[in-house]
Amino acid sequence: MHAAHHWDRINGEAQCRLCPHACVIREGTTGRCGVRRLRQGMLSAEAYGYISSLAMDPIEKKPLFHVKPGTEILSVGSAGCNFRCSFCQNWTISQEHPPLSRLAPRQLIEEALEQGACGVAYTYNEPLINFEYLLDCARLARTRGLLNAVVTNGYIQPPPLAELLPLIDAWNIDIKSLRPEFYRRFCAAELAPVLETVTTVASAAHLEITHLVVTGGNDDLQQIAELVDWIAGLSSEIPLHLTRYYPQYRWEAPATDPELLCQARDLAKRKLAWVYLGNLGQGDDALHCPACNRLLVERRGYHTKSVSITEGKCPQCQRRIPGIF
């Protein structure tokens, strides 16, 4: 058993304080995420050291387009999620019980070094519910010169987030909608804590945002415009990935219309400097300087062909490019 952090004992039960659900957990049962169980009066982090997936991926696939373009990152996932998205694109590991294997933090970091990864990405299922494993791996990765990237729904309480912030170099946070009713209906969660996390992370680390455009859910330009306005209010420099949905899990509507995604991109580009489309196949996602239009990163799909950024700036006009290069 690995002791969980961030919980209180209340009348023989546990109240988990890791994410905003704040589950009250009876002896022998787990919270909503399925990986934090009360055992003999102690809250156990059940997923600690258990993984469902491990792969060397282009970092662009996370998606992180402004972090070490052209490198590969060792990507690790476990099981469980604190959301219940009916359109989940990774439901076999987030909502079911996938086969798991053991991988201690030290083994994960050795693997990343052996494979020449630029760092470790905590991804695939929701990594924040495996907080203790993420914390231990991230600390070790730091000591060995690897960067840490988290791909998340952003559903975490402020105290554990504050503990993670100094260790995580890059975040990709999924904002599913700017409407609270969408989060309640489709994800069984609340919007406000996600926006709080995004706001905190934006001022502390490199942040990119993903927005999955779900047919029959949030696929209208008015909703996307609301999201773009909110992000622009935080910073017009935050990269936004508008991603194509495919029918998965309990949502059978057809895949997102590519034409709608292109309209959404054009709309977003009026307010944000960096907007990309995702899950569309081998599209051309070249990165041009918004000030002088110089080609900065040439890529096709997830394959980066060339990078021309000097000390975080456009080599032609010296405009600052947000990210880690």
DSSP state of 2: -
Residue 142: what residue type? R
Q: Which stretch binds ligand SF4 (CB under 6 A): 17-25, 141-149, 238-246, 310-318?
A: 17-25
- With CB under 6 A as the contact rule, the residue among 19, 112, 161, 189 that binds ligand SF4 is 19
106 closest CA partner among 24, 180, 42, 49: 49
Q: Which stretch binds ligand SF4 (CB under 6 A): 32-40, 231-239, 252-260, 294-302?
A: 32-40
- Count the site residues for ligand SF4 by CB under 6 A: 12
Q: Is 37 in the site for ligand SF4 (CB under 6 A)?
A: no
Residue 216: what residue type? G
Q: Which stretch binds ligand SF4 (CB under 6 A): 29-37, 108-116, 170-178, 202-210?
A: 29-37
CB of 36: closest distance to ligand SF4 in angstroms? 4
Distances (CA, A) of 285 to 45, 168, 254, 297, 301: 39, 26, 24, 9, 7
Distances (CA, A) of 162 to 49, 53, 81, 157, 213: 22, 27, 21, 9, 30
- With CB under 6 A as the contact rule, the residue among 109, 129, 134, 238 that binds ligand SF4 is 129
Q: Which is nearer to ligand SF4, 60 or 132 (CB)?
A: 132
Q: Which stretch binds ligand SF4 (CB under 6 A): 20-28, 50-58, 93-101, 200-208?
A: 20-28
Q: Which is nearer to ligand SF4, 129 or 138 (CB)?
A: 129
Residue 172 in contact with residue 209, Cβ under 8 Å?
yes
Q: How far apart are CA 190 and CA 195, in angstroms?
A: 10
User: Of 138-197, which residues contact ligand SF4 (CB under 6 A)?
Assistant: none
Q: Which is nearer to ligand SF4, 159 or 312 (CB)?
A: 159
Q: How far apart are CA 69 and CA 116, in angstroms?
A: 15
Residue 174: what residue type? D
Site string for ligand SF4, 68-87 (x = CB under 6 A): --------------x-----
Q: Which is nearer to ligand SF4, 32 or 206 (CB)?
A: 32
DSSP-assigned beta bridge partners for residue 211: 242
Residue 16 in contact with residue 45, Cβ under 8 Å?
no
Residue 23: what residue type? C
DSSP-assigned beta bridge partners for residue 277: 242
Q: Is 93 in the site for ligand SF4 (CB under 6 A)?
A: no
Query: What torsion, rounded to 10 degrees, do the Cα atoms 56, 62, 65, 67 define?
Result: -60
CB of 322: closest distance to ligand SF4 in angstroms? 30
DSSP state of 183: I
Q: Is 33 in the site for ligand SF4 (CB under 6 A)?
A: yes
Enumerate binding residues for ligand SF4 (CB under 6 A).
16, 18-19, 21-23, 31-33, 36, 82, 129
